[in-house]
Amino acid sequence: WSYGSWGYYGYNGNIYCCSRSGSPYGPLFSTGDTIGCCLNFKNNTVFYTKNGINLGIAFRNLKGTLYPCVALWSKGQAIEVNFGSRKFKYAGNAE
Protein backbone atom coordinates (compact mmCIF):
# COMPACT_ATOMS: atom_id res chain seq x y z
CA TRP A 1 0.00 0.00 0.00
CA SER A 2 3.07 2.23 -0.05
CA TYR A 3 4.38 4.44 -2.83
CA GLY A 4 6.07 2.29 -5.46
CA SER A 5 4.16 -0.87 -4.56
CA TRP A 6 1.60 -2.90 -6.49
CA GLY A 7 -0.39 -5.87 -5.27
CA TYR A 8 -3.40 -8.19 -5.42
CA TYR A 9 -5.18 -8.62 -2.09
CA GLY A 10 -6.86 -11.97 -1.45
CA TYR A 11 -9.24 -10.75 1.24
CA ASN A 12 -11.27 -8.56 -1.12
CA GLY A 13 -9.96 -9.30 -4.65
CA ASN A 14 -8.82 -5.72 -5.18
CA ILE A 15 -5.54 -4.52 -6.67
CA TYR A 16 -3.57 -1.70 -5.11
CA CYS A 17 -1.17 0.68 -6.79
CA CYS A 18 0.88 2.94 -4.51
CA SER A 19 -2.15 3.66 -2.33
CA ARG A 20 -4.61 2.29 0.23
CA SER A 21 -7.38 2.85 -2.34
CA GLY A 22 -8.00 -0.39 -4.21
CA SER A 23 -9.75 -1.20 -7.46
CA PRO A 24 -11.85 -4.30 -8.15
CA TYR A 25 -9.80 -6.91 -10.02
CA GLY A 26 -10.33 -10.60 -9.39
CA PRO A 27 -11.73 -13.30 -7.15
CA LEU A 28 -10.90 -13.68 -3.48
CA PHE A 29 -8.23 -16.25 -2.65
CA SER A 30 -7.42 -18.26 0.42
CA THR A 31 -5.96 -21.50 1.77
CA GLY A 32 -5.19 -23.99 -0.99
CA ASP A 33 -5.23 -21.51 -3.86
CA THR A 34 -2.20 -21.01 -6.08
CA ILE A 35 -1.63 -17.37 -7.04
CA GLY A 36 0.80 -16.55 -9.83
CA CYS A 37 2.25 -13.17 -10.72
CA CYS A 38 3.61 -12.66 -14.23
CA LEU A 39 5.66 -9.56 -14.95
CA ASN A 40 6.10 -9.04 -18.68
CA PHE A 41 9.30 -7.01 -19.11
CA LYS A 42 8.66 -6.60 -22.84
CA ASN A 43 5.55 -4.44 -22.38
CA ASN A 44 5.83 -3.57 -18.64
CA THR A 45 2.57 -5.20 -17.60
CA VAL A 46 1.59 -7.52 -14.75
CA PHE A 47 -1.13 -10.12 -14.64
CA TYR A 48 -2.06 -12.55 -11.89
CA THR A 49 -3.36 -16.09 -12.08
CA LYS A 50 -5.52 -18.01 -9.66
CA ASN A 51 -5.11 -21.79 -9.81
CA GLY A 52 -3.67 -21.46 -13.31
CA ILE A 53 -6.39 -19.14 -14.72
CA ASN A 54 -5.25 -15.77 -16.11
CA LEU A 55 -7.15 -12.95 -14.38
CA GLY A 56 -6.18 -10.29 -16.94
CA ILE A 57 -3.75 -7.39 -16.84
CA ALA A 58 -3.65 -5.75 -13.43
CA PHE A 59 -0.98 -3.10 -13.94
CA ARG A 60 0.61 -1.29 -16.88
CA ASN A 61 3.68 0.89 -17.35
CA LEU A 62 5.68 -0.40 -14.38
CA LYS A 63 9.01 1.37 -14.03
CA GLY A 64 12.07 1.29 -11.82
CA THR A 65 13.64 -1.52 -9.87
CA LEU A 66 11.11 -4.15 -8.79
CA TYR A 67 11.34 -6.52 -5.81
CA PRO A 68 8.98 -9.43 -5.15
CA CYS A 69 7.25 -9.54 -1.79
CA VAL A 70 4.31 -11.20 -0.09
CA ALA A 71 2.42 -9.85 2.90
CA LEU A 72 0.86 -12.15 5.49
CA TRP A 73 -1.77 -10.78 7.81
CA SER A 74 -2.38 -13.23 10.67
CA LYS A 75 -0.27 -15.27 13.05
CA GLY A 76 0.26 -18.81 11.78
CA GLN A 77 -0.16 -18.05 8.08
CA ALA A 78 2.33 -19.71 5.74
CA ILE A 79 3.09 -19.67 2.03
CA GLU A 80 5.19 -21.56 -0.45
CA VAL A 81 6.93 -19.53 -3.17
CA ASN A 82 8.34 -20.47 -6.55
CA PHE A 83 10.84 -18.10 -8.11
CA GLY A 84 11.49 -20.37 -11.08
CA SER A 85 12.71 -23.61 -9.53
CA ARG A 86 9.44 -25.29 -10.61
CA LYS A 87 7.28 -24.82 -13.70
CA PHE A 88 4.90 -21.84 -13.51
CA LYS A 89 1.38 -23.23 -13.09
CA TYR A 90 -0.09 -20.99 -15.85
CA ALA A 91 0.45 -22.70 -19.18
CA GLY A 92 -0.98 -19.92 -21.38
CA ASN A 93 0.73 -17.25 -23.39
CA ALA A 94 2.39 -14.60 -21.21
CA GLU A 95 1.03 -11.95 -23.60
pLDDT for 40-62, tens place per residue? 889 999 999 999 899 999 999 98
Res 71: pLDDT: 83
Closest alpha carbon to 56 in 87, 92, 83 = 92
Residue 20 lies in a domain: yes
Residue 39 lies in a domain: yes
Residue 1 lies in a domain: no
Residue 53 lies in a domain: yes
Quote the CA–CA distance of 57 and 47 in Å, as a whole number. 4
Res 3: pLDDT: 79
**For residues 21 and 85, is the Cβ–Cβ distance under 8 A?**
no
* Overall number of domains in the chain: 1
> Residue 34 is part of which domain span?
6-60
Residue range 31-42: mean pLDDT, rounded:
89
Residue 33 lies in a domain: yes
pTM for the model:
0.83
Residue range 77-81: mean pLDDT, rounded:
87
Residue 88 lies in a domain: no
